[in-house]
Structure 1
Amino acid sequence: MPVALDSTSLALGTVACYLLYFVYVRWTKRQGLPPGPPRLPFLGNIHQLPQLDQHTFLKRWADQYGDVVYAEFFTQPAIVVSSVKAACELMEKRGAYYSGRPRFVRIREMIGWTGHSAWRPYDDTWKRQRRWFQQSLISASAVKRNHPLQEREVRRLLYALVQHPAEFISHIKRYSASLILEIGYGHTVTSVEGDEFIQLVEAGIQEVFGGSGAGSAPVDFFPVLKYIPAWLPGAGFKRAALMAKEAIAATENIPYDSVKDDIAAGVAKPSFTTAMMQDCLKKGALTSEDEIVIKGTAGTLYAGIKYTTLTSIMVFILAMVQHPDIFQKAQEEVIRVVGETRLPEFSDRESLPYLENIITEVYRWHPAVPIGVPHLASDDDVYRGYYIPKNSMIISNIWAMFHDPEVYPEPERFKPERWSNTNTDRGDDPNLGDPRKIVFGFGRRICPGRYFADNSVWIVAACIISMMSIRKARDARGEEITPSPKFHSGIVIHPEPFVCDIRPRSEQSRQLILESLGAGTV
């Protein structure tokens, strides 16, 4: 005889079935996750993730588990991608689903760096920022329009190297900072030490960029930590964030206010900031929201392009000190093409293939941002049969991509010849392993300043190779000092200070450098 069910029993049965189905679906999906290291309850894999040199640690995961690895940091699912193929298929071909950003608790909520376009979610404000970048940095006309500034600043760099060669690191810092402050705000830098703005913000930005990768601090995975009082033992991260918060505010406010005052006085120079302000003024008076977005967009230039440019130039010099044969070969090419009566210009670039190989190898050997800024999966997805949960953090380990021996044989060697058109050690697809298609990021979140940064590195390399001699320094006993490639860890890595002997390669070169700046002889 059939049993009649009352409404309560039916409702409870329905709920039970739904819960069982939900658990079954979740269990089934989790069974299909990519391979990865064993996880602990609650902690996941956070106990394994080091704060320093995360790129080399994550490469070991790739070596063990493959190019797509699943991990959890507390309750945050993460997909570590260590091949160009997987990165392109996810973040470029499926860009509509993989262009978001994680929450970035440390950077956005504690430090308050909400205006920087790299940390922003994929929203209308980010798209507005991207349009401004397109007009001032990305378009072909903008790239060409910036050439005179880059050529002027490299002449100043060469002059400084002639006058004080031992301070080459400081000169390169001035060069990279001056480019960005000039294009961003119309502000000319004469020296790093004497520039109040640079001194004010450097420490704070270093605090943001140092240590762990973007979005990988413990507070990013366990946000409740941000409420810990700064005075508690072990809360040094909170005190550091407060210091960085002041510096980042200064990064955005001080130069913007200076441009605003210059506009009011009628003496403002053309710059990225003035262009953005003029664009907003077409619709009426500047709103407070306009000002916030403009400050953040301009600040993106200084904090992003400046540091990646600095790292790449330092890596170039380090490589040239370590490999005098490569330097000599490049110098012979530049002299053959450019001659000895002028400095290299951007119009020479296509005629200098070996120099191009050197710059390409610089990007591969030690990428400035070894772990790209993480993307976020906006929905559940399936890739290669693996389940990728919604809100997974997608970590692109660019370092691992560039140090895959299957793609780049002898990856630890600095070897420009690997980029020769006649060389076949680049894999089946020659474009797949091209660092220029990788080092600046993937998909819709690719670095908007990539052309400006690449040109800024190239013109320095070309002019130093043309005009200067780079050798190993010698100690008090006259023995050569070979610098080792040691790097500070962080979102942006950079070589530890090293010494070298850099000087004009001839008296003719010295005179040409001085005359190119209108300085005459000294």
Structure 2
Amino acid sequence: MSVYTIFAIGIALYLLKGWLARRSTLSLPPGPKGYPFIGNVYDIPHHYPWLTYTEWARIYGDVFSFSVFGKTTVVLNSIEAVTELLEKRSSNYSDRPRMVMANELMNWDWDFAHMRYSDWWRRHRRMFHQYFQPRNIALYHPIQKKLSIVLLDQLVRSPAEFAPHIRQFVASIVLQAAYGHEVKSEDDFYINLVHAAVKPLLLVVHATGKFFVEFVPSLKYIPDWIPGAGFKRNAKIWRKGALDVRNVPFDAVKKSIDEGSAQRSFVYDNMEKIRLNKTADVLEEEEIVKNCAAIIYLAGSDTTASLLLAWVMAMVLNPDVQKRAQEEIDQVVGMSRLPEFSDRNSMPYIQATLFETLRWFSVTPLALPHRAVKEDEYNGFRIPAGATVTPNTWAILHDERLYPEPFKFDPNRFLKDGVVSFAQQPDPLLTGSFGYGRRNCPGRYLALDTAWIAIASILATSHIGKTVDGKGQITEPVVAFTDGLVSHMKPYQVHFAPRFHGAIDMIESAKAHAL
């Protein structure tokens, strides 16, 4: 029997299984009408799926579904549905669907954000959470403070390069936290390593219309040379980055530990813990340390940089917000020193500005997909076992029922009587900014602290304005964002300038004491 015959039989059986599974007394949630066997293969969006899903929600309701080759996807577009399914029924929805491109062909199976819900995943989550829980997070404040001063110095020296400066700032913090690695320049080897690895990953997680191997997994067995197997050839190239980003920094720390030159970090501390506790399953524990460290490095740098670059855009488009935030800083710290983490509770407007950035610009517009372990029912509709359940975070954070005038950048929505309050509009941390249920982001506390110190420090020293061209014409920055799992503002230009006489001296003084 030829490979083509086996392949054809495999597809036929897969389609038949899907068709039979759909025959039930309860209907699936409504959605676009598809074709027999192939389903909605011609309907699924290839680009910016969260926008298409938001439009579909207006037609079919907040919870709708579509199927491709017998595989059902249910999209949740309301906080009510997310809360009921992913929070209250989390035991049934904490699994991840099979990710053929990412995990099986590109070797991202070590990434515990993608892992199936299991004891192996729980061991990763436990180690990560124990190290980055709120009561421990203040240990990183000195590093975050020091590197925020480096960022301010860079913005003074080369303000037009604000985007790479911000990326370096964030990457420096996560690399220090994960590996004790000190970044010396924007062209740091480890920063380039993570950029090379993450770019293809972000393209494949929600790329439902690009890689049909996700719907017909048997396609992964076809030979690389067959026409149409370009996905396999690409996966082979991208696989190297997935392995390098996990192994190279970890091996370097292990070597420095052996040489006695290692710096304190997540890897160092947990490797010492393994050694002192004389853990029986040393190899397994080391693998968990390696996997968790790579996620700190991988996920933390990209998402937090995206958040800060969105905040810069918000400031230049909303000068009244920028002015009020700076007035608050001046009232608390004056113009003689930089903000400290100890000032945070005295700056509710700065905090509200951070919350509003999380809501206004969805860093991860579609949360990582969940999977229904068992068949379930919601509002009279059937959610089949094995269905992919995708929360549309962008739709929820821009739901005018929750957030009136959702496209307006307004920190006041999170303030009441001069303090941060979610009595009127819900906390964006709970409506999806960092995921849902048991699979929410355990690194959110480090990310929020990193973003806060950058925002407060920049506002204290800089005015962010629109650029002016050679003819004296103001250049209006355009809000446009990229596709993919993590969305970024497309490149834009703004002008950074010292906001008062003496700002540069203040930065120089802080640098002399901290660096």
With normalisation by structure 2, the TM-score equals 0.90
Tell me the alpha carbon deviations over residues 28-49 of structure 1, each in whole angstroms, 9 at most, x when there is no partner.
7354322222122222223212
Query: Are 1:447 and 2:434 an aligned pair?
Result: no
Corresponding letter in the other structure for 1:199:
N
Unaligned 5+ runs, structure 1: 1-21
Which sits farther off after the overlay, 99-108 or 411-420?
411-420
After superposition, give the CA deviation of every residue in 1:107-140 in whole Å (9 maximum; x if it has no partner): 10011011111001111121111111122112x3
Matched position secondary structure for 1:255: helix
> What SS does structure 2 have at the residue aligned with 1:518?
helix
Q: Counterparts of 1:131 and 1:519 in 2: how far apart (Å)?
A: 37
Q: CA 1:436/1:28 → structure 2, altered by over 3 Å: closer, same or farther?
A: closer
Per the TM alignment, residue 51 of structure 1 is displaced from its structure 2 partner at its CA by: 2.3
Tell me whether 414-423 or 451-460 shows the greater mean CA deviation: 414-423
**Structure 1 counterpart of 2:87:** 92
Q: Tell me which of 157, 167, 179 is aligned to 1:163.
A: 157
Match of 1:459 in 2: 453
Aligned AA (1:473): T
Aligned-partner SS, 1:354? helix
CA gap of 1:390–1:430, structure 2 versus 1, over 3 A, is farther
Matched, 1:126 2:121: yes
- Does the CA-based 8 Å contact 1:472-1:482 persist in structure 2? yes
Q: Is the contact made by 1:204 and 1:243 (CA closer than 8 Å) also made in structure 2?
A: no
Equivalent residue of 2:24, what SS?
helix
Name the CA shift for 1:412/1:351 in 2 (closer, same or farther; >3 Å).
same
Structure 1 residues 229 and 34: alpha-carbon distance in aligned structure 2, compared to 1, 3 A threshold:
same
2:190 corresponds to which residue? 197
Alpha-carbon shift at residue 295 of structure 1 (Å)? 1.8
Relative to structure 2, which stretch is displaced further, 408-417 or 103-112?
A: 408-417
| TM-superposed deviation, 1:62 | 1.1
1:516 maps onto 2:510 in alignment: yes
Does the Cα contact within 8 Å between 1:114 and 1:296 map onto a contact in 2?
A: no
* Cα separation, partners in 2 of 1:285 and 1:381, compared to 1, 3 Å: closer
Structure 1 residue 230, shift from structure 2 partner: 4.0
Aligned-pair Cα RMSD in Å: 2.5
User: Do the aligned partners of 1:52 and 1:212 also contact (CA within 8 Å) in 2?
Assistant: no
**CA displacement 1:179-206 (0-9 Å, x = unmatched):** 111000000111121x122223412311
Partner amino acid, structure 1, of 2:476: T
Does structure 2 conserve the Cα–Cα contact (< 8 Å) formed by 1:104 and 1:215? no
Mapping of residues 75-474 of structure 1, within 5 Å = 75-138=70-133, 140-193=134-187, 195-210=188-203, 213=206, 217-281=211-275, 282-284=277-279, 287-421=282-416, 430=424, 432=426, 434-474=428-468
Residues in 2 aligned to 1:26 and 1:105: alpha-carbon distance in whole angstroms:
21
Deviation at 1:26, TM superposition (A): 6.3
8 Å CA contact 1:100, 1:122 repeated in 2: yes
- Deviation track 1:314-350 (CA, whole Å, cap 9, x = no partner) reads 0000111111121111111111112111111111111
Q: Is the 8 A contact 1:84 1:433 kept in 2?
A: no
Alignment of 1:28-67 (within 5 A): 29=24, 31-67=26-62
- Alignment identity in percent? 37
Judge conservation of contact 2:397–2:431 (CA < 8 Å) in 1: no
The separation in 1 between residues aligned to 2:469 and 2:22, in whole angstroms, is 64
1:495 aligned onto 2:494: no
SS of 2:497 mapped into structure 1: strand
Matching residue of 1:6: none
Q: Name the amino acid aligned to 1:103.
A: R
What amino acid does structure 1 have at the position aligned with 2:175? L
CA 1:431–1:98 in 2, change beyond 3 Å: closer, same or farther? farther
Greater mean deviation of Cα atoms: 209-218 or 114-123: 209-218
Shift of 1:208: 0.9
2:14 maps to which residue? Answer: none
Deviation at 1:276, TM superposition (A): 2.4
CA contact (8 A) 1:67 1:81 kept: yes
Seen in structure 2, the aligned counterparts of structure 1 residues 465 and 291 have a Cα distance that, compared at 3 Å, is same
Task: Show CA shifts across 1:224-248 (max 9, x none).
Answer: 3323444455444333322221111
CA distance in 2, matches of 1:432, 1:76: 34
The answer for unaligned runs of 5 or more in structure 2 is 1-16
Larger Rg: 1
Shift of 1:296: 1.4
Distance of aligned partners of 1:191 and 1:467 in 2 relative to their CA distance in 1, 3 Å threshold: same
1:449-479 CA-to-partner distances (Å, cap 9, x unmatched) read 0111111111111111111111101112111
Q: Is the 8 A contact 2:46 2:207 kept in 1?
A: no
Shift of the 284–485 alpha-carbon distance from structure 1 to 2, 3 Å rule, reads same
